[in-house]
C-alpha cells in the first residue's frame, strides 16, 4: 500500500485569499433561521432559568434535532455571550477549520508538491452562496459543513486524527450522518485491514452517553422531531435535489470534472485516487437518498449541504493536473485564471427563489416548489431584523429574565402562548409555550397530518390551540399525568383529545416522567400509536 502524504501543506496565495474572503462572506450572509430560537430556549432554560434541558418547565420533550449543536451552544452561552455574537464567532471559527481541512485535502490530492494550485473545492465552496449562508442560521449547519469536509479528507487520509474525530462525532450533530459514518468506518476497516476500535469508541461513547441522558430525561429513544419529520415524500425530495443542483449548474461542472479526471488520471500518480473519489461520492449519495426519502427541507440547500461539499471534494486535484498538462511552464498563471473563473462561477449563481443576486440581500423572496431561501427569514415580519454587523441586542433575553424574576428569583409562568414562530415563544419566558407546528410538542409530533411543505403541517395549528386551552385550564397546577383526562372529564378538551385519550395518556407518562432510569427505560421501549384527529 502506498504511503499516505502527511503534514499540513503550505497554502498558496490563492488559498490565502480564500480565507479572508470566506470569513467576510460568512458574516455578510449571516442570518438566523427561526428554528434556532428553539435551541436558544432549551439552552437558556438549562443555564439561566433552572428548568433543565426542556422547552417548558416540568415537561420533558426533546424538541431539538442536534445534541452536538445544543451542547456547543450551552458551553459557549454559559459565558453569557449574546447569541448573535456567538453565532458569528462560530461561523468564523468553522470556516477557518473548513479552510484548513480543504487545504489539507488539496495537499493529499495534488499530482505533485510543486503543482500550480487551483483547489477547486476550496475556491468554489468559499464563494458559493448556499455554503456562505450556512456558516450561520442558528442551527447545526456550520458543524455539518466542517464534518462534510472532514469526511472527504478522511477517505483520502484515514490516519488524520482531526478528520477521524470530526467523522466520529457526525452522528451526534445530525442523526442521518450515522449513514456516512458507518460507511467511512467500513472503508477504514477494509483499507487498513484492522478493526478501527478507537474510531468506534470516539463515535459510540458520546452517543451512548446522550442516549442514556435521553432515556433518563425524556423516556424515549428518539427526539420528538423524529416523529414529526419521519415521512416519505420522494417527489418533494427530488424537487429539493433539483432546487439545489439546478441553479448551481451541477449537471455541467460535475461531469466536466469527471471527464477531466478520466483524461489526466495517468499523470496524477498516487493522487489519482479513483477508489477514494468513488467512496466520497458514495458517502454523498447515502445522505442524498435519505433527504429525498423525507422530502427535503423547507429551506434551500440546507439538508444537501453535506453531500454537496463531498461532491465538490471528489474533484480535488483534478484542475491542478489539467493545468500542468496544458501549460507545464506557465502553470501558475493559468492556475490563477482558472481559480478566478471557478470563483466567478460560484459567486454568480443563486437560488431560484431570488430575482436578483443574493449578495445584495434583496428585500423580497418567494417560494419555489414549497422551498424558501434564507432571504425569506431575513425579511419575515414576525422576526427581529438583524444586520450582520450589529450586536444583536434585539434578541438578547438575559435582561428580560432579570426583569421578570420575583422575590424568590423565579420567573412565574402565567398563561399560555401558542404560535408557529419560534421567536414569539422564545421572547415569552413567562408563558407556557405551545409550538403550533409541533416542533417541541410530543402530542402534535405524533399526530397524523399531511405536510403543506417540508416540516410545515399547518393542519396542526388548530390542534395546538386545543392543547393550549388544556394548559390554560390547568392554571398554576404543575403538569402531571392525567391532565388531559381531567380536561376531558371537565368538558374543556376538544373531541379529538377525547378520541385519542389512551395514546395521549401514554405520551403523558413520557412527558411527565420522574427521571428514574429503570422506569424510563421501560417507558422508552413503549411505542404509542399515531394520533388521528
In this prediction the pTM is: 0.96
Residue 1: what pLDDT? 37
Q: Residue 11 carries which DSSP code? A: P
Q: Where are the domains of the chain?
A: 13-221+231-360, 408-524
Cell digits for 193?
485491514
**Residue 416 backbone dihedrals phi, psi, to 5 degrees:** -130, 140
Contacts of 360 (CB under 8 A, 6+ apart): none
Residue 3: what pLDDT? 44
Q: At what angle do helices 161-173 and 141-156 cross, to 10 degrees?
A: 140
The total number of residues shown for the chain amounts to 533
DSSP 187-207: HHHHHHTS--HHHHHHHHHHH
206 C-beta neighbours (distance < 10 Å), count: 17
Q: Give the closest residue to 171 by CA, choosing from 184, 158, 157.
A: 184
Residue 146: what pLDDT? 98
Q: Give the closest residue to 137 by CA, choosing from 378, 361, 304.
A: 378
Residue 327: what pLDDT? 82
Whole-angstrom distance, CA of residue 397 vs CA of residue 72: 19
Q: Name the CA radius of gyration of the chain, rounded.
A: 25
Whole-angstrom distance, CA of residue 511 vs CA of residue 495: 21
Cell digits for 89?
464567532
Helix (H, G, I), strand (E, B) or coil at 130: helix
β-strand pairing of 432-435 with 416-419: parallel
CA trace torsion 28, 33, 37, 40 (10° rounding)? -50
Tens of pLDDT, residues 41-89: 999 999 999 999 999 999 999 999 999 999 999 999 999 999 999 999 9
Q: Give the closest residue to 284 by CA, choosing from 250, 308, 317.
A: 308
**Residue 177 backbone dihedrals phi, psi, to 5 degrees:** -75, -5
Whole-angstrom distance, CA of residue 348 vs CA of residue 345: 5
Whole-angstrom distance, CA of residue 169 vs CA of residue 189: 18
Beta bridge partners of 372: 299
Whole-angstrom distance, CA of residue 437 vs CA of residue 434: 9
CA trace torsion 255, 257, 263, 266 (10° rounding)? -130
Question: What are the b/e assignments for 465-478, b being 16+ CB within 10 Å?
Answer: ebbbbbbeebeeee
Tens digit of pLDDT per residue, the chain (533 long)? 344 556 788 999 999 999 999 999 999 999 999 999 999 999 999 999 999 999 999 999 999 999 999 999 999 999 999 999 999 999 999 999 999 999 999 999 988 767 788 899 999 999 999 999 999 999 999 999 999 999 999 999 999 999 999 999 999 999 999 999 999 999 999 999 999 999 999 999 999 999 999 999 999 999 999 999 888 999 999 999 999 999 999 999 999 999 999 999 888 888 899 999 999 999 999 999 999 999 999 999 999 999 999 999 999 999 988 888 888 778 789 999 999 999 999 999 999 999 888 998 766 789 999 999 999 888 888 999 898 889 999 999 999 999 999 988 899 998 999 999 999 999 999 999 999 999 999 999 999 999 999 989 999 999 999 999 999 999 888 899 999 999 999 999 999 999 999 999 999 999 999 999 999 999 999 999 999 99
Residue with cell 455554503: 131
Cell digits for 259?
471527464
Cell digits for 265?
488520471
**Residue 308 backbone dihedrals phi, psi, to 5 degrees:** -65, -45
Contact 508, 529 (CB under 8 A): no
Cell digits for 504?
395521549
Tens of pLDDT, residues 346-359: 999 999 999 888 99
DSSP 364-405: ----BTTBB-HHHHHT-TTS----TTS--GGG--HHHHHHH-
Q: How many CA atoms does the CB half-sphere of 290 hold within 13 Å?
A: 18
Contacts of 33 (CB under 8 A, 6+ apart): 137, 138, 139, 299, 374, 377
Residue 147: what pLDDT? 98
Whole-angstrom distance, CA of residue 221 vs CA of residue 62: 10
Helix (H, G, I), strand (E, B) or coil at 152: helix
Cell digits for 234?
420522494
Cell digits for 64?
431539538
Residue 270: what pLDDT? 82
Q: At what angle do helices 83-109 and 13-28 cross, to 10 degrees?
A: 150
Helix (H, G, I), strand (E, B) or coil at 492: coil
Whole-angstrom distance, CA of residue 463 vs CA of residue 443: 10
Residue with cell 483547489: 119
**Residue 137 backbone dihedrals phi, psi, to 5 degrees:** 100, -15
Amino acid at each position: 500500500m502506498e504511503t499516505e502524504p502527511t503534514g499540513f501543506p503550505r497554502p498558496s496565495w490563492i488559498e490565502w485569499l480564500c480565507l479572508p474572503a470566506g470569513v467576510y462572506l460568512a458574516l455578510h450572509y449571516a442570518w438566523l433561521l427561526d428554528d434556532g430560537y428553539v435551541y436558544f430556549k432549551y439552552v437558556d432554560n438549562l443555564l439561566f432559568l433552572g428548568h433543565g434541558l426542556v422547552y417548558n418547565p416540568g415537561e420533558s420533550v426533546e424538541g431539538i434535532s442536534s445534541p452536538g449543536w445544543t451542547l456547543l451552544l450551552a458551553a459557549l452561552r454559559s459565558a453569557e455571550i449574546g447569541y448573535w455574537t456567538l453565532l458569528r464567532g462560530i461561523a468564523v471559527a468553522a470556516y477557518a477549520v473548513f479552510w484548513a481541512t480543504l487545504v489539507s485535502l488539496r495537499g493529499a490530492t495534488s499530482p505533485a508538491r510543486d503543482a500550480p494550485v487551483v483547489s477547486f473545492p476550496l475556491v468554489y465552496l468559499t464563494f458559493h452562496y448556499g455554503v456562505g449562508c450556512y456558516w450561520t442560521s442558528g442551527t447545526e449547519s456550520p458543524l455539518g459543513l466542517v464534518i462534510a469536509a472532514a469526511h472527504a479528507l478522511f477517505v483520502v487520509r484515514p490516519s488524520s486524527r482531526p478528520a477521524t474525530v470530526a467523522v466520529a462525532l457526525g452522528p451526534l450533530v445530525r442523526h442521518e450522518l450515522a449513514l456516512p459514518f458507518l460507511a467511512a468506518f467500513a472503508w477504514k476497516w477494509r483499507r487498513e485491514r484492522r478493526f478501527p476500535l478507537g474510531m468506534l469508541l470516539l463515535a459510540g461513547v458520546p452517543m451512548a452517553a446522550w442516549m442514556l441522558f435521553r432515556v433518563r430525561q425524556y423516556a424515549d429513544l428518539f427526539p420528538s422531531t423524529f416523529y414529526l419529520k419521519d415521512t416519505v415524500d420522494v417527489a418533494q425530495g427530488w424537487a429539493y435535489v433539483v432546487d439545489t443542483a439546478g441553479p448551481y449548474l451541477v449537471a455541467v461542472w460535475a461531469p466536466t470534472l469527471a471527464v477531466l479526471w478520466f483524461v489526466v488520471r495517468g499523470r496524477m500518480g498516487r493522487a489519482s485516487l479513483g477508489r477514494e473519489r468513488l467512496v466520497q461520492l458514495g458517502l454523498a449519495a447515502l445522505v442524498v437518498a435519505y433527504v429525498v426519502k423525507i422530502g427535503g427541507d423547507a429551506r434551500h440547500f440546507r439538508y444537501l449541504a453535506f453531500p454537496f461539499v463531498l461532491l465538490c471534494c471528489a474533484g480535488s486535484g483534478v484542475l491542478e493536473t489539467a493545468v500542468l498538462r496544458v501549460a507545464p511552464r506557465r502553470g501558475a498563471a493559468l492556475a490563477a485564471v482558472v481559480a478566478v473563473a471557478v470563483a466567478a462561477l460560484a459567486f454568480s449563481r443563486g437560488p431560484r427563489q431570488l430575482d436578483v443576486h443574493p449578495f445584495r440581500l434583496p428585500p423580497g423572496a418567494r417560494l419555489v416548489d414549497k422551498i424558501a431561501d434564507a432571504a425569506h427569514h431575513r425579511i419575515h415580519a414576525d422576526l427581529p431584523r438583524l444586520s450582520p454587523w450589529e450586536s444583536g441586542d434585539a434578541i438578547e433575553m438575559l435582561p428580560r429574565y432579570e426583569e421578570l424574576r420575583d422575590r424568590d428569583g423565579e420567573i412565574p409562568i402565567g398563561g399560555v402562548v401558542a404560535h408557529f414562530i419560534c421567536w414569539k415563544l422564545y421572547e415569552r419566558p413567562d408563558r407556557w409555550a405551545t409550538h403550533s407546528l409541533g416542533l417541541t410538542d410530543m402530542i402534535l409530533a405524533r399526530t397524523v397530518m399531511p405536510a403543506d411543505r417540508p416540516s410545515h403541517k399547518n393542519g396542526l395549528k388548530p390542534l395546538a390551540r386545543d392543547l393550549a386551552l388544556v394548559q390554560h385550564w390547568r392554571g398554576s397546577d404543575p403538569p402531571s399525568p392525567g391532565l388531559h383526562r381531567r380536561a376531558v372529564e371537565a368538558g374543556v378538551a376538544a373531541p379529538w383529545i377525547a378520541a385519542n385519550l389512551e395514546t395521549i395518556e401514554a405520551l403523558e407518562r413520557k412527558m411527565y416522567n420522574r427521571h428514574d432510569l429503570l422506569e424510563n427505560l421501560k417507558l422508552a421501549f413503549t411505542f404509542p400509536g399515531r394520533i388521528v384527529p
